[in-house]
């Protein structure tokens, strides 16, 4: 079965669920093996609580600096979330030099109602206790109570955005690119590689599970390593 047929046979909800069983190290290794070693975001991105994971296609939001307090414009921009489809990860770029909270409990409540299953924020977050209590996965760079209104505004959605990178200054996130995040970090999987990376990660995970059992039983480490080498 070719990749197109396979993709058509699997729903995005199923793909997300399978990704949530993986871990960042395996995803990175596969991406690197496919020639995409720089798809990892800065180590500054971290979950609000350790158990949180991100797995879903990106719904991108491009922001910018502002000094205006435009309520009417704010309401118009809030409606951009109505274009979301379940399950997606809301991805917001930094867009402002100010250290402000560009995401919080209100943003999460609105986004979740329109299909988001998590958020990736290149900036600050607030209302952290509420977000953790509601078990809504959010990865951000820092926490701050500072209000973004009058300092930051959304420009448009579903356009390419740049996020802080780990191996290069920025990583481009295109609408539909698959976002994976756990305690090890956040990775951006090009949209057309979503299923290929998933299937290879699952193959590797199976080999590692077998190797782990033999290592735990005291097997010769070199022999076990060679037996389950990723080929």
pLDDT, one tens digit per residue, over 171-230 is 999 999 999 999 999 999 999 999 999 999 998 876 565 545 555 767 666 654 555 565
pLDDT of residue 158: 97
Residue 227 has a pLDDT of 53
pLDDT tens-digit series, residues 199-216: 999 988 765 655 455 557
pLDDT value of residue 206: 63
Report percent pLDDT > 90 for the chain.
69
Please list the residues that pair with 41 across neighbouring strands.
165
Cα→Cα distances 172→83, 95, 97, 126, Å: 21, 14, 19, 25
Alpha carbons 136 and 139: distance in angstroms, whole number: 10
- Name the phi and psi angles at 128, rounded to 5: -60, -40
Cα four-point dihedral sign 115, 121, 127, 132: positive
**End-to-end distance of the chain based on CA atoms, in angstroms?**
21
Residue 86 reports pLDDT greater than 90: yes
Q: What is the mean pLDDT of residues 51-80?
A: 81
| CA-wise closest residue to 55 among 30, 31, 24, 26 | 24
Q: Which domains does the chain have, with CATH numbers?
A: 40-190 (3.50.30.40)
Mean pLDDT of the 88-97 span: 93
How big is the CA angle at 67 (ends 152 and 69), to the nearest 5 degrees? 85
Between 116 and 96, where is the model more confident?
116
What average pLDDT does the chain have? 87
User: Is the pLDDT assigned to residue 46 strictly greater than 50?
Assistant: yes
3-state helix, strand, coil in the chain (%, to 5): 35, 25, 35
Q: How many CB atoms lie within 10 A of CB 113?
A: 11
Q: Tell me: pLDDT of 144 over 60.
A: yes
Q: What is the bridge-based pairing of β-strands 152-157 and 161-164?
A: unpaired
- How many CB atoms are closer than 10 A to CB 95? 21
Q: How many CB atoms lie within 10 A of CB 120?
A: 27
């Amino acid at each position: 079965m070719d990749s197109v047929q396979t993709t058509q046979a699997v729903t995005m909800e199923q793909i997300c669920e399978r990704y949530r069983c993986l871990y960042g190290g395996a995803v990175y290794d596969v991406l690197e093996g496919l020639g995409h070693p720089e798809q990892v975001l800065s180590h500054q991105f971290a979950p609000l609580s350790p158990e949180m994971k991100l797995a879903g296609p990106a719904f991108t939001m491009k922001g910018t600096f502002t000094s205006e307090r435009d309520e009417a414009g704010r309401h118009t921009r809030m409606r951009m979330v109505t274009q979301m489809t379940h399950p997606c990860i809301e991805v917001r770029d930094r867009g402002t030099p100010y250290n402000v909270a560009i995401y919080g409990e209100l943003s999460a409540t609105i986004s979740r109602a329109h299909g988001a299953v998590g958020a990736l924020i290149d900036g600050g977050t607030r209302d952290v206790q509420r977000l953790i209590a509601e078990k809504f996965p959010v990865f951000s760079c820092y926490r701050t109570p500072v209000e973004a209104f009058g300092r930051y505004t959304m420009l448009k959605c579903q356009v390419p955005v740049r996020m802080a990178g780990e191996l290069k200054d920025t990583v481009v996130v295109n609408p539909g690119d698959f976002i994976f995040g756990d305690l090890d970090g956040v990775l951006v999987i090009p949209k057309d590689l979503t299923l290929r990376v998933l299937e290879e990660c699952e193959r590797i995970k199976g080999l590692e599970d077998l190797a782990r059992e033999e290592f735990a039983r005291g097997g010769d480490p070199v022999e076990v390593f060679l037996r389950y080498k990723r080929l």
